[in-house]
Amino acid sequence: MSIQHALLTSLLEKPSTGYGLASRFDRSIGYFWQASHQQIYRELRRMAAAGWVVAEEEGGEGRRKRKTYQVLTAGIDELKRWVATPSGSADSQRELLVKLRAEAVLGPLGARDELLRLTASHEERLATYRQIESRDFSGNDLSPAQQLQHRVLCMGILSEESWLAWAQDTLPVLENLEADGPRSRD
Amino acid sequence: MSIQHALLTSLLEKPSTGYGLASRFDRSIGYFWQASHQQIYRELRRMAAAGWVVAEEEGGEGRRKRKTYQVLTAGIDELKRWVATPSGSADSQRELLVKLRAEAVLGPLGARDELLRLTASHEERLATYRQIESRDFSGNDLSPAQQLQHRVLCMGILSEESWLAWAQDTLPVLENLEADGPRSRD
DNA sequence: GTTACCATGTAACGTGTTACATGATTCC
DNA sequence: GGAATCATGTAACACGTTACATGGTAAC
C-alpha cells in the first residue's frame, strides 16, 4: 500500500508525469524500490480520485494528454499521517527509507520513533541469530553441508549488523533535523 | 515462482506436512523467507500435480487427512535444473540462499557460478552508488535535508559492502564442497 | 468437556507482472 | 519520412493476503 507514499514523496520533490516517475522513480528511492509504469499509472489515478494529487493536463484536444501530477494538501496530510504511523509491515525497512525522504522534504514528522522501533526489533533478531549460531554451529568440526548452512545464517547476521550500524549513524542526522525544525537555519 | 524450490529444499531435508512447513518453513530458510500456510498448501498441491512430490496420506476414512509430503526424483531433477539456471530475478539474493541450502543437501550443482554472477552485479551497483555519492554528497556544507538523502544512499552502499564481504567468505566454502564432491569425505 | 494446538482447505480481494496497443514529439 | 523516445492506457493473469470454515488430537 505504501507505494503511494513513495510516489507522493517523489512528487513533492518534483512534480512529474507518470512516465517521468517510472523512469527515475526518484533519485535514491528508485535505488531500492522499483515499480512498473502500469503500477505507477494505476496509483496516480487512484490518488487523483482520492484528492491527494491533481493532474495538470497539457496539450490540445488530442485524446491522450500529457499529465503533470502535483501533490495537494490532502496528499501532504496523508503522507504526514503515514510517516507518524508505526508500520509493522514486512518491508518496514524500505518504508523507513521513504519516510526519511519524506522528512527531508517536509521537515520533522516523527520518523525518529520509527527508527528506534526498528532498531529494537533488529537487535532482537540479531540476538536470535547469534543464539542459533552458538547452538548449531559453534563446533569446529562442521561438515561441508553444515558450513554452507552456517553461511546462510551468517548472511542474516551480517545484514542485521550492517543495518544497526547504519541506524546508529542515521539517528543523529534525524535528531539534528528535528531539533532545527522544518525550515532551514539562517 | 521459486517458493516451490524453497519448499522442495526444505522437504528434502525433512519430509513434512504442510503445517509443519508453515510453522518452521525450515530452520534457516524461514529466517529470510516467510510464506503463509495457504501459499504453502497451494504450492504443495501444484507440485504434487506436477509429480515433483507425493503426499503420503495417514489417518482413516475422515474427509481431511494428514498428508506427509516427500520429494520425488522429478522434484530433485527440477531443483537441480533451477540451481544451475541463472536467476535474473529481482530477489536473486534470497534465491541464492535457497540454492546454497539445496547444495548443502544435494551436493555440487553449480551455485558457485550464481555466486560469481551476483558478486559482479553487486560490485557494479556499489560502484554506481559511490559515483552518485561523490557527485551529489561530497561537499561538507550539506543541508539537513541533503544529509538525510545521503543517509538513504548510505544504506544502499552499506548493504552492498556487507553482501560482498559475505560472498567473499562464502566462496571458499562452496568451492571446498564442489572439490570434495557430493558425498562426505572419509 | 473444553481449551489449545495440529492440520487442511475455500473464497474473495488487492497487488504486481506481462503482453499488447496507441499516440505525440523529437531528431536525423 | 522513419526511428527513437516520451507518454498513457487496457486486458489477462499470477501471486500473496486476509477472512472464514472445518475437523482431528492431546491435555487439563
Q: Are A8 and A47 in contact (CB under 8 A)?
A: yes
Q: b/e per residue, A127-161, with b = 16+ CB within 10 A?
A: eebeebeeeebeeeeeebbebbbbbbbbbbbbbbb
* pLDDT over 70 (residue B103): yes
Q: What pLDDT shows up at residue A62?
A: 59
Enumerate the residues of chain B whose CB falls inside 8 A of the CB of residue A170: 151, 154
Asked if B158 is an interface residue toward chain A (Cβ–Cβ < 8 A), one would say: yes
How distant is C1' of D11 from CA of A45, in Å?
17
* pLDDT over 50 (residue A185): no
pTM of the model: 0.89
Q: b/e per residue, B98-129, with b = 16+ CB within 10 A?
A: bbbbbbbbbbbbbbbebbeebbeebeebbeeb
> For residues B146 and A30, what is the distance between their CA atoms, to the nearest angstrom?
17
Inter-chain contact B152–A34, Cβ cutoff 8 Å?
no
Please report which confidence band the pLDDT of residue A15 belongs to, taking 50, 70 and 90 as the band edges: very high
- pLDDT, mean over chain B: 90
Closest CB from B97, B105, B165 relative to A152: B97
> For residues B78 and B76, what is the distance between their CA atoms, to the nearest angstrom?
5
Write down the H helix ranges in chain B.
Answer: 3-13, 18-24, 37-50, 73-84, 92-106, 111-136, 144-180
Q: b/e per residue, A25-58, with b = 16+ CB within 10 A?
A: bbbbbbbbbebeeeebbebbeebbeeebbbbeee
B132-147 residue pLDDT tens: 999 999 998 999 989 9
Q: What pLDDT shows up at residue B184?
A: 42
Task: Give the position of cell 552458538.
Answer: A134
> For residues A154 and A162, what is the distance between their CA atoms, to the nearest angstrom?
12
Q: What pLDDT shows up at residue A180?
A: 65
Q: What pLDDT shows up at residue A181?
A: 56
The pair phi, psi for residue A20, each rounded to 5°, is -60, -45
Enumerate the residues of chain B whose CB falls inside 8 A of the CB of residue A184: 143-145
* pLDDT over 60 (residue B186): no
Inter-chain contact A145–B174, Cβ cutoff 8 Å?
no
> For residues B141 and A103, what is the distance between their CA atoms, to the nearest angstrom?
19
* pLDDT over 90 (residue B179): no
Q: What pLDDT shows up at residue B185?
A: 41
Rounded percentage of chain A residues whose pLDDT exceeds 70 = 93
Mean pLDDT of A90-102: 91
Please report which confidence band the pLDDT of residue B65 belongs to, taking 50, 70 and 90 as the band edges: confident
Rounded percentage of chain A residues whose pLDDT exceeds 90 = 73
Q: What pLDDT shows up at residue A59?
A: 65
Q: Which of B91, B130, B148 to mutate to test binding with chain A, by most A CBs within 10 Å of its CB?
A: B148
Q: What pLDDT shows up at residue B29?
A: 85
A160-178 residue pLDDT tens: 999 999 999 999 999 988 7
Q: What pLDDT shows up at residue B68?
A: 96
Please report which confidence band the pLDDT of residue A186 belongs to, taking 50, 70 and 90 as the band edges: very low
Residue B89 grid cell: 530475478
Using alpha carbons, list the distances in angstroms from residue A23 to A17, A31, A117, B51, B143. Answer: 10, 12, 33, 42, 27
- Looking from the CA of B148 toward its CB, the CA atoms found within 13 Å total 25
